[in-house]
Amino acid sequence: MEGPSLVIACEELAPWFGHRVDAVDGAQAKTFGSLRGHEFTEAKSWGKHLLLRFEDVTLRIHFLMFGSYRINDPRENRIPKLELRFGRGTIYFYSCAIRALDRKIEDIYDWTTDLMSPAWDSKKALDAVREIPKTMVCDALMDQTIFAGSGNIIKNEVLFNLELHPEARVGALSAAQQQALVKEVHTYSHQFYEWKKVGQLKRNWRIFRKKVCPRCHVPVKKRPTGKLERFSHYCTSCQLKPKTKATPKITTGRKHPSSIGDSSSRRLRH
């Protein structure tokens, strides 16, 4: 699940804000049983993190590849990871990584890197991109510390729209291309959101899981690319690597929100 889908999840959960949890069930009920009786105050997302805020704790839910949620409509013969029952209905979470955050989320998350947030800071993203010139665009677009919420669909569609080869080095792009990159990830993420909301996402895919390039009618190439080796779908005819070489820069580390992971396992992390 990519960032835009989580924004929709938050919207779907809005009717539950201000309501008290009557019962907790599911595979992880034991871990999160203390939520019973607590008020569900708000749901927010940061990138691919769904944050459920309760009176004195926040649950962080990550759906990874296969996770899902249901509202008042449980899947048959399936035990949810977590089930939250309210007077007005029940929310079910399946195959996701859930963890309780005890620190204030404002201290953990920086919404200027969240593509779907009004606080999104494109200049900051541009600076971050320019700090990693040797990185391939396909990897840069998956970097959650720069483009929180971007995933493999967004990556492929953005590269197609910009007519860029997935393996082009970020540093080989012109300044204008780097700027266009940052702009397009943001724009496409919001289009993704609009399409998904009305059930039109898949029909708007132009290259992802397509067989033929809609521009050139050439067969689409599909193979793992970049350090991350995630699959890229691209047109070998119109998605090109730029020939221009740009100025190299020194790479520096960036900090990002604490790690994901199944809370059932170790919590010990100083």
Kindly list the residues in this chain that would bind DNA in the complex (CB under 7 A): 1-2, 5, 47-48, 62, 64-66, 68, 75, 78, 94-95, 142, 144, 151-153, 208-209, 222, 224, 227, 230-231, 259-262, 265-266, 269
For the CB of residue 20, give the shortest distance to DNA in the complex, in Å: 27
Q: Residue 135 and residue 226: Cα distance in Å, rounded?
A: 8
Grouping H, G, I as helix, E, B as strand and the rest as coil, residue 86 is strand
Q: Which residue number, 78 or 88, has a Cβ lying nearer to DNA? A: 78
For the CB of residue 48, give the shortest distance to DNA in the complex, in Å: 4
Q: Which residue number, 54 or 192, has a Cβ lying nearer to DNA? A: 192
Structure-token match 């492929």, residue found: 156
Q: Which residue number, 123 or 254, has a Cβ lying nearer to DNA? A: 254
For the CB of residue 147, give the shortest distance to DNA in the complex, in Å: 10
Q: Residue 154 and residue 146: Cα distance in Å, rounded?
A: 14
**DSSP string for residues in 52-84:** EEESS-EEEEE-TTT-EEEES-PPTT---SEEE
For the CB of residue 268, give the shortest distance to DNA in the complex, in Å: 9
Residue 185: enclosing H or E segment and its boundaries? helix 175-197
Q: Residue 42 and residue 235: Cα distance in Å, rounded?
A: 42
Q: Which residue number, 190 or 230, has a Cβ lying nearer to DNA? A: 230
